[in-house]
Structure 1
Amino acid sequence: MTVIAAAPSLTAPPPAFTPDEALGLAERHFGRTGRLDRLTSERDLNFRLTTAAGDSFVLKIGNAAEPADVTDFQIGALLHIAARDPALPVPRVVPALDGRCSVLLPGGEVLRLLSWVDGHPMPRVPSNPALRRSLGLTAARLTRALAGFDHPAAGHELLWDIRNAARLRPFLPSVTDPRLHDLAALWLGRFDAEIAPALPGLPWQVVHADLNPFNLLTDPDGQAVTGILDFGDMVRTPRICDLAVAASYHADPARPLDTLAEVVAAWHAVLPLTAEEARLVPDLIAMRMVLTVVIAHWRAGLYPDNAPYILRNVPASGAGLAALTVAGRAAARTHIARATETRP
């Protein structure tokens, strides 16, 4: 399998539209105009659109390599969440003038308009117990709200999906730090031998799959999650992968098991883990760290000009992976078992 075949949307360059062109599309299809500010993105072209009245929206021009049905999948999920848990702080779909939720552009890109979600980017605040508990609670609410949602594109193949971790092996040489490389190789071996065979027996559903700090917003004091962004990596996979992704960025290297258990316990209070989910979640947290390290290094090599953005989560994931490995799988499972021993 070539790199292109494995992940075309990760290797295709983002759409190339000038701000004036993007603003013209917003006015033509959504009847909105104002000031555009470019937002960072790996695959798509995103702008904040602020109208003269002070209203804000996100104008999204999706990568042409992304199948149109995947975009429709994301739209359907947002509509489903709005109906199931209206208080969840996620973007709302803004229909076009003709009532469509998205517009297919001549070059294959998909144009959308979403409501703006206010908050402070999570990376600007330090992880703390209150924030970790809020993260676990909010992530569980989101996964619970997505329960029962399905779509023909839900089973699409995504390299970032933890269940596909075995596909990372061709990209391991891109991790040039010997220690990180060896840690990733160690966990990929464990994945093949022990983790992957257990995944089919877990509860599966559509999940967000990318609850990393850059997709989350907090209150000014950094005590609570106030926004969830970017549903571009949604996929049908073991539901516990959403918890694994969210928790993986909050492992304090000085005490990784205690900090991870705080996120897990809060999740468990909303969406109780099965015994097998509780047993496997430390391994899946480690595998998300591996994905972050390997995929980011590979993509940074493809797009060196955007490397600082692509590599932004690697230091935390690398440190967390090392600390979790040293702590040991048995100790991690014991901590998680204690955090989930009392069912709501």
Structure 2
Amino acid sequence: MAVVPDSPARAPEGQSDRPASEEDNRQLGAVASTDAFFRAASANLSVRPDTTERDISADLLKRHYGLEGTITTLSSEVERTVEVTLPTSCRLILKTSTRPEAVDSFRFQSAAMARLHAKANVVVPRVIPTRGGALMFKEDRVCGYLQTRIDGTPLHQAVPAPEQLFQTGNALARLDQALEKTELPSAHRPVLWNIRCWPRLMELAQNLPSGSIADNVRAAMAEYVSSVEPYIAGLDWQVTHNDPSPHNMIVTDQDLGFIDFGDGGWNPRIQDLAVAASHHVTDPALPLGGAEQLIAGYASVLPLSALEARVLTGLMKARQSALILVNYWRARLFPAEADYIKKNVARAERGLSILAPLDSPSGEAAVLTALALPQPDDPGGLTHQTGSRT
């Protein structure tokens, strides 16, 4: 009987421990803001998923991994994603695509998880090496990779208690800490969620419903351009997950786990906190809508700089706006998949309406107040020991 190999896959080429300088960040930001980058990133999300292709997952699994199992297709916005249940009841995830741009995306995703799986304090899927020991495979028109499946409860189904939010921020900071001072292959590929694409996203504004939603988006993006974008080169940049939404974080018996690195790449580190916090703005009675404990948990591991504290709420609002803009656009392109595409839109619209009254000074004040919060009680022992930024 075939078994899932325990030996590590070959390390990807292109990894480096050289930290990027501020000049590097300026140059990379300039590249990311070019028309060609934005158009390529938009094109990648303007085509249907690979569901129309004949499913050859079983053949690929046998040929590249020597494994057989029951195949179940899962929902996915871009690539084909299937769950593989082996005769041993072990469950794996196989991602494949026939698109040329998927090669770079899968190269990045598999390398990121392989890098993180070696870290003792971060929970991510384990990449299963091919028969030849590689992180991914490529043959003819198809490429893909195989990973383990994390067992647990998706964060969006969990109760957002203060201690859980603090642990979420804590775990996210440890993830960013594990990715600090490293480069991964294809980290600079075109991704529409890249921060320097955001001002260009207003080209999609005609897809928004009229009224307060469109008004809030326009105001948030204008604030980003005037009060945040001029300063992002001064932030600490590194490889980030770039989509730590409640659908991509799993509450496990061990710790909080992270899945789906498909939007990851080279971004300001604080961007991961902005994304995660933006999804937890739900309570209009609180200045940051309830994201305060998540922010405090993150800062308990990676203390925020003065600049990060100043721009965080602007980044949160811009990310909420980006999510609204991109998903209204894609829902119009693919009406049959609109419900899945817009699964996070209502949360973003509500969160943006809560944060809309905050200008830059009041947003900064709210963040500084959150940073001073005491650590909540943790009766389940979920919060791990934290370290300082190195």
Q: Does TM, scored on the shorter chain, surpass 0.5?
A: yes
Contact 1:118/1:227 (<8 A) preserved: no
- Does 2:68 align with 1:38? no
Specify the alignment match of 1:92 in structure 2: 126
Q: Does 1:125 align with 2:158?
A: yes
Match for residue 50 of structure 1? 85
User: CA-to-partner distance for each residue in 1:207-247, whole Å, 9 max, x for gaps?
Assistant: 00000111111248xxx963211011111111100000011
Aligned equivalent of 1:301: 332
Q: Deviations over 1:20-67 (max 9, x none)?
A: x21121111111111111111101110110111111110111351425
Once the two structures are superposed, what CA deviation does each residue of 1:51-86 show, in whole Å capped at 9, x if it has no partner? Answer: 111111101113514252332222222222123x23
Task: Please say if residues 191 and 263 of structure 2, whose CA atoms lie closer than 8 Å, have aligned partners that are also in contact.
Answer: yes
Q: Whole-Å Cα distance in 2 between the matches of residues 230 and 256 of structure 1?
A: 30
- Show the counterpart of 1:70: 105
Q: Report the aligned-residue RMSD.
A: 2.1
1:189 counterpart residue number: 222
Q: 1:134 aligns with which of 160, 164, 167?
A: 167
Which structure 2 residues correspond to residues 169-188 of structure 1 after superposition, within 5 A? 169-188=202-221
Contact kept, 8 Å, 1:205 with 1:239, in 2: the verdict is yes
Contact 1:133 1:263 in 2 (8 A): yes
| SS state at 1:36 partner | strand
Note if 1:314 corresponds to 2:345. Answer: yes
- Residue 258 of structure 1: how far off its partner (Å): 5.6
Contact 2:69 2:87 in 1 (8 A): yes
Does the 8 A contact of 1:174 with 1:294 survive in 2?
yes
SS at match of 1:326: coil
Give the drift of 1:123: 2.1
Task: Give secondary structure in 1 for the equivalent of 2:288.
Answer: helix
| 1:239 paired residue among 259, 269, 283 | 269
In structure 1, list runs of 5 or more residues that go unmatched. Answer: none
| Alpha-carbon distance in structure 1 between the residues aligned to 2:107 and 2:192 | 19
Give 1:296's aligned amino acid: N
Partners of 2:173 and 2:301 within 8 A in 1: yes
CA contact (8 A) 2:117 2:126 kept: yes
Report the secondary structure of 1:271's partner residue. Answer: coil
Gaps of 5+ in 2: 1-34, 374-386
Equivalent residues in 2 for 1:249-260, closer than 5 Å: 249-254=279-284, 255-257=286-288, 259-260=290-291
CA distance in 2, matches of 1:295, 1:260: 23
Q: 2:115 aligns with which of 50, 56, 80?
A: 80
- Alignment: residue pair count: 338
Query: Tell me, what secondary structure is at the counterpart of 2:290?
Result: helix
C-alpha separation in 2, matches of 1:324 and 1:164:
22
1:143 to 172, 176, 189: 176
Q: TM-score, normalised by structure 2?
A: 0.81
Contact 2:96 2:144 in 1 (8 A): yes
Q: Find the residue that maps to 1:214 and give its secondary structure.
A: coil
Give TM-score, length-normalised by structure 1: 0.92
Contact 1:283-1:329 at 8 Å conserved across structures: yes
Distance change (3 Å), C-alpha of 1:218 and 1:97? same
Determine which of 294, 313, 322 is the counterpart of 1:263: 294
